[in-house]
Amino acid sequence: MHGVLPAHRYGQRELAGAVAALRPDGDGHARALAERFAAGAGVEFRHLALPLERFAELDGFGRTNDAWLAAAAELAERAAAGALREAELPPEQVDFVVSTTVTGVAAPSLEARLAPRLGLREDVRRLPLFGLGCAGGAAGVAAVDDLLAGRPGGTALLLATELCSLTLQRADTSTANLLATALFGDGAGALVAVGDAVDCAGPEVVATRSRLYPGTERLLGWEVGDSGFRILLGAELPELVRLFVGEEVSSFLAAHDLKPNDVTAWVCHPGGPRVLDVLQDELGLPAAALAPSRASLARCGNLSSASVLHILRDVLAAGPPPPGSYGLMLALGPGFASELILLRW
């Protein structure tokens, strides 16, 4: 398990001012509005793929995507190499590689470009995922689990790479875009997983569940245009989490004779402070349960699909839960959809 961040680190207030200055109407009102959203995002620092002064150069989707590809490849390579090193596994032992992103487009996809640089075998099975957004890290864990079920002695590498800053829409003054520019950061995460026939010190995947919520397709996602990815981010998202996701989590756990208070480790995607507040309230969780998610949000922002891998790393670094205890990985993404992974140590 390995998480990496770009070298360019900025405080939230500095970023708010810089983003306001990039807008066509970069006056005092724009700055005040950006700072208001930034102050309520629960974010203290973020890391960007490029230094702030470079963003003014990105004047179209093509140039922005080129910058994404160069930076994403470097960051993804660092994450993957770190995960393999920490697992003490040679790259040629990897049978499957699953990669997820929603912030740039590449064909060949990232993992294909990285395979020779990492030393992966030429016959490695690849599964690139796009469009899952913030749910991509958890969905990637589920995909890896499914692949390894067919090869119990196999090894898989999961890679999540997101450069959210490179989706910046300077001319979009919508509430959704202002919220997004206050919330999202850049980063990558990777983990190594093995099949049931291989001994491993980490948690095992007990069960997974994916769920689409009908009629919510316009709540979360992208509108793709000449300027790139314009975010869809409905203000009603926290209330839909209240209506559907708390019950979804409870029913998923109940299928395994568990209740929320039976879960020792919560690996929840930090969709934003309001979403975390609703989850904590609906599930009756103590503040400590979602503390790793809030800490990750404050330290580096919402990293989309990579966040759950960073949070799982932090949970493990704090000391693995006792043997036999349960963990739950939870993430929400476009669809509107939820991804749940039940873990056991």
Active site (catalytic) residues:
134
Residue from 79, 237, 210 nearest 132 by CA = 210
Longest alpha-carbon distance in the chain: 61
Phi first, then psi, for residue 272 (nearest 5°) are 155, 160
Residue 301 structure tokens: 């922002």
Task: Label residues 283-311 b or e (16+ Cβ within 10 Å = b).
Answer: bebeeebbebbbebbbbbbbbbbbbbbbb
Chain CA centroid to CA 94, Å = 23
Kindly give the residue spans of alpha helices, DSSP state H, lying in the chain.
12-22, 28-39, 61-87, 110-118, 136-149, 175-183, 237-240, 246-254, 273-283, 291-300, 307-317
Bridge partners (DSSP) of residue 9 are 47
Residues 6+ apart with CB under 8 A from 177: 169, 230, 231
Q: Do 180 and 303 touch, CB atoms closer than 8 A?
A: no
Question: CA 131 to CA 220: how far, in whole Å?
Answer: 11
Q: What is the DSSP secondary-structure string of 214-257?
A: TT-TTSEEEEEETTEEEEEE-TTHHHHIIIIIHHHHHHHHHTTT
Environment class of 110 (CB within 10 Å of its CB; exposed 0-12, middle 13-18, buried 19+):
buried
Is there a cis peptide before residue 238, judged by omega within 30 degrees of 0? no
Question: CA 119 to CA 142: how far, in whole Å?
Answer: 25
Residue 195 structure tokens: 């099949």
